[in-house]
Amino acid sequence: MNVSHAWLARFVPHGRSPEAIRDLLTAHVATVEGLESLRPDLVPFVVGQVIASEKIPETKLSYNSVDDGSGTLLEVVCGAPNVTVGAKYPFARTGTTMPGGLVIEKRKIRGFTSNGMLCSARELGLGEDHDGILTLETSAAPGTPFLEVFPTGDVRIVVDVLPNRPDLLSHRGVAREVAALTGVALQMPEELAALPALTAAVVRGGQEGTAGGITVRIADRADCPQYAAAVIEGMAVGPSPAWLRAAVEAVGGRSINNLVDATNYLLHGFGQPVHAFDAARLGGATLEVRRARAGETLVTLDGASRTLAPNMLVIADGSAPTALAGVMGGQGSEVTESTTRVVLEVAEFAPALVRTTRRAVGLSTDASYRFERGIDGGALEEMLKIGAALLAQVGGGKVTGLVHLGEAPSARPVVTVRPARVAAVLGDAVPAAEIAALLTSVGCAVAASGANGALAVTPPSWRHDIHREVDGIEEVARLRGFERLPDALQGARPGTVPDHPLWVAYRRLRDALVAEGAHEVRPLPFVRGEDASHVRVRNPLAEDEPHLRRSLLESLARRAEYNLTRMQGDVRLFEVGAVFRPSSAALPHEEHRVAALVMGSRRPVHFSEPQPPAYDAWDAKALGERMAAVAHPGAVVTLRAAGEATGALWEIVADDQVVGEIRQLALDAPVWARPAFGIELMLGAMPSAPVAPPQSHAHGTATSQERRAPVRFRTLPTTPAAEFDLALLVPDAVEAAAVEAVLREAGGALLERCVLFDEFRGTGVAEGFRSLAWRLTFRHPERTLKEKEIEGRRQQLLSAVETRLDVRPRVA
């Protein structure tokens, strides 16, 4: 909402600077986003102080030393008679463009160099004063912007009005707040003081009425609670008077003509959108508010031809729709240069219907914006009278008929405001009298109601946002000022909500993966996907990525490819995030997962290792095991070879549940890229079923957090261990894990460790075989093992693998 500082002052003579109004509104009403000078041409001018001055002989000129705050005194020639040493004047530095278009340049006058110009009021476009340069009575330092010490021209105050306060979408609305906050009384702007008196009486009716030869009709009062019109004859369309043009331009509009400008005055001045029809261009002498019929068309003022539908509200003349109600007029009945008889529409349309209509046609206007949010239905007849008189005045016409269908809304329901509740919500006791005064100041009718100082508050017709006690409490809080509320930190009871387990898992995984050297990412979850398998966004941002991902690796793979296109081949990324899949439940199935992607060198280059090895499947396997152990603490984690169909290397199993997988990723990669491996693990479903039906809760059903069994301490051994290696020739068809299982079983309770430490193929190893070597550690808890016992173990192990797996030792 653009508020003109000058126009505002005509509604409430507050006597405050734009800056003061900005601070007042921001602190108590709505945020002011900025102040815009409507004399931007004066922005470059600064305060200059004359430090020394001497006459140039045989001329009227003086040669002056001017301080412009730059730190260097400037020599300036001036022709004015009133130059006084020590005085301050508006000063144009070289390079400044004067309001007339002249650019001030360094130049020589009578052999004296002049570096700028001391300015008169006339030169600044501030009047016709010929008496010389403009003396500034100010204590401001040289160099201060001229506009700060000599506020000139109007200032536009840009207010961010939120949807709950449509009453602030007008100068009168903002003025009401300024009046409430400053105590200065609201008044009618002086330009409305001399409006011609209306002689025509207002014809009232329910759904139909005639005045000034025009019949108006409302088809359904639910669509249009009130419709008023004025008929004005003898109008002359022409330029607007200066004050009207200034008002329209101050809010950012363009002056069109006296008629159109006057309708805009009502909109911006009072928040009432109105529309002027050329009576001569209406098809018949009727205006009807009705739903559009399927197939009807209308050419709106912007020249677009629009096909209408029954969910839209129109104003129809005798033959066809001639305006889109509350949104935009039609070209067919638009006022033109030759208009003499005008029908002025002043109406209240159903907000939801205007919203539907403007969305259906894709057209938001100043009018629809206000109707959607709600206008002041209580002011409709006032607006009709002011509007009719204003049009008659600026157009030199005469009001010949006034009609008003429907009624002003009845008083709003009473809201009870209890001082004790005000204190309970705000944390500060506000006396009942102060509460009453504050609410009264913004137009509420306040009366005592019952015990304990309770107040019966009736909101004014223009406030659509005061329904409950707490709405009244908000008024009290903001009008007094949030800054007046105490803010000492108080103690509080501990909450009942445990940390969400998925958050705990996220933090543990993140620490582990960062320690592994990976970078956390937070990418978008949109993917190409397919309707059959993926959840589709109904109104996607990009048609080529309309689905939600089913897997985090889908996102990580794209991010790795992005890095490859930027020549980055060493990529280690991870994410903890949500994936989605279609579900027959009310909402898609949502699950939180962790995924990591590794590609490129396993370590940074070091002089001891100029070409570090690249990540391979074994790195991925170990990382997967680590992630699974962190994600599923206490669970038994195993990795098993994944089935062919999955395309994965391993699946990750925690306590017999498949919780994830490890795979080599097929990236869109350049030839120099190293293989990329991905690990993805499920952390848990994110329940999205309703916790409880609306207006109810499910307290008491929460289960306590599962606690992990503590680690049991194991006594350290006191006896020495015996260690030996076994190199076995293992056929390719036999898995190392199978051999190890036999070794562990045959090794019995005294086998402490069994580590595969070598694999070899080649010389001395037959085709179809590999040599695998294990290092075995035996220990007896109470005594030292004898040589003979150890040798016996070795033989037992060899015979076990031979009989069970037909695996024999490798003979060197």
Partner 1 sequence: MTLSEFLASVEQLAADAPAQIAATATLDEWTAVRTALVGRQAGRITDLMTGLAALPKEAKREAGQRVNAVKATIEAALDARQAALEAAAQGASTPLDRSMPGRAHWRGAVHPVSQVIDEVVEIFRELGFTIALGPEAEGAWYNFGALNFPADHPAMDMHDTLYLGADQVLRTHTSPVQVRTLQQYPPPVRILAPGNVYRRDFFDPSHAPMFAQVEGLVVDEGVTFADLKATLSHFARRFFGAETTTRFRPSFFPFTEPSAEMDVRCGVCRGAGCGVCKQSGWIEILGAGMVHPAVLEAAGLDSETYTGWAFGMGPARTALSRHGIPDIRILYDSDVRVLDQFVS
Beta bridge partners of 552: none
Q: Does 471 bind partner 1 (CB under 8 A)?
A: yes
Query: What DSSP letter does each residue of 442-494 carry, written as one string?
Result: TT-EEEE-SSTT-EEEE--TT--S--SHHHHHHHHHHHH-GGGS-------PP
Q: Does 498 bind partner 1 (CB under 8 A)?
A: yes
Site string for partner 1, 18-57 (x = CB under 8 A): --------xxxxxx-xx-----------------------
Q: Which of 381, 474, 619, 802 binds partner 1 (CB under 8 A)?
A: 474
Residue of 435, 535, 418, 539 lying closest to 478 (CA atoms) = 435
Beta bridge partners of 39: none
Q: Does 700 bind partner 1 (CB under 8 A)?
A: yes
Q: Does 539 bind partner 1 (CB under 8 A)?
A: yes
Q: Which stretch binds partner 1 (CB under 8 A): 61-69, 285-293, 684-692, 786-794?
A: 684-692
Q: How far is CA 520 from CA 506, 660, 669, in A?
A: 11, 19, 22
Cβ closer to partner 1: 190 or 609? 609
Number of residues that bind partner 1 (CB under 8 A): 108
Burial degree of 410 (CB within 10 A; 0-12, 13-18, 19+) = exposed
Rounded to a whole number of angstroms, the minimum distance from the CB of residue 161 to partner 1 is 9
Rounded to a whole number of angstroms, the minimum distance from the CB of residue 609 to partner 1 is 8
Residue of 470, 441, 472, 476 lying closest to 457 (CA atoms) = 472
Measure the CA–CA gap between 525 and 666, rounded to whole angstroms. 19
Chain residues 352-391 in contact with partner 1, contact rule CB under 8 A = 352, 355-356, 372-373
- Rounded to 10°, the helix 419-426/469-480 angle is 70
Structure tokens at 119: 């300015």
User: Alpha helix locations (H) across 485-603?
Assistant: 501-515, 552-565
Q: Which stretch binds partner 1 (CB under 8 A): 265-273, 306-314, 490-498, 783-791?
A: 490-498
Q: Which of 482, 622, 732, 748 binds partner 1 (CB under 8 A)?
A: 482
Task: Return the exposure string of 769-797: e unless at least 16 CB atoms fall within 10 Å of the residue's CB, then b.
Answer: bbbbebebebbbeeeebeeeeeeebeeeb
Q: Does 532 bind partner 1 (CB under 8 A)?
A: no
Cβ closer to partner 1: 199 or 608? 608
Q: Does 694 bind partner 1 (CB under 8 A)?
A: yes
Measure the CA–CA gap between 417 and 242, rounded to whole angstroms. 47
Site string for partner 1, 293-332 (x = CB under 8 A): ----------------------------------------
Rounded to a whole number of angstroms, the minimum distance from the CB of residue 512 to partner 1 is 10
Query: What DSSP letter does each residue of 219-257 carry, written as one string?
Result: S-TTT-SEEEEEEEES----PPPHHHHHHHHHTT-----
Query: 664 and 617 in contact (C-beta within 8 Å)?
Result: yes
Q: Does 522 bind partner 1 (CB under 8 A)?
A: yes
3-state helix, strand, coil in the chain (%, to 5): 25, 30, 45
Residue of 344, 343, 350 lying closest to 291 (CA atoms) = 350
Q: Does 540 bind partner 1 (CB under 8 A)?
A: yes
Burial degree of 521 (CB within 10 A; 0-12, 13-18, 19+) = middle
Site string for partner 1, 427-466 (x = CB under 8 A): xx--------------------------------------
Query: 139 and 236 in contact (C-beta within 8 Å)?
Result: no
Q: Which of 97, 319, 568, 784 binds partner 1 (CB under 8 A)?
A: 568
Q: Which of 5, 10, 165, 172 binds partner 1 (CB under 8 A)?
A: 165
Q: Which of 50, 573, 627, 734 binds partner 1 (CB under 8 A)?
A: 573
Q: Does 698 bind partner 1 (CB under 8 A)?
A: yes
Return all residues near 170 (Cβ < 8 A) that are at least 6 apart.
1, 267, 268, 269, 270, 271, 272
Residue of 153, 366, 194, 196 lying closest to 269 (CA atoms) = 366
Residue 247 backbone zone (phi > 0: left; psi -120 to 50: alpha; other: beta): alpha
With H, G, I as helix, E, B as strand and everything else as coil, classify residue 37. Answer: strand
Q: Which stretch binds partner 1 (CB under 8 A): 42-50, 228-236, 304-312, 472-480?
A: 472-480
Cβ closer to partner 1: 607 or 713? 607
Q: Does 537 bind partner 1 (CB under 8 A)?
A: yes
Q: Which of 309, 578, 614, 798 binds partner 1 (CB under 8 A)?
A: 578
Q: Which of 81, 163, 670, 792 binds partner 1 (CB under 8 A)?
A: 163
Chain residues 333-352 in contact with partner 1, contact rule CB under 8 A = 352
Q: Which stretch binds partner 1 (CB under 8 A): 61-69, 607-615, 729-737, 803-811?
A: 607-615
Q: Does 688 bind partner 1 (CB under 8 A)?
A: yes
Chain residues 100-119 in contact with partner 1, contact rule CB under 8 A = none
Measure the CA–CA gap between 597 and 570, rounded to whole angstroms. 11
Q: Does 808 bind partner 1 (CB under 8 A)?
A: no
Q: Does 473 bind partner 1 (CB under 8 A)?
A: yes
Chain residues 133-162 in contact with partner 1, contact rule CB under 8 A = 162
Rounded to a whole number of angstroms, the minimum distance from the CB of residue 482 to partner 1 is 4
Chain residues 403-432 in contact with partner 1, contact rule CB under 8 A = 424-428
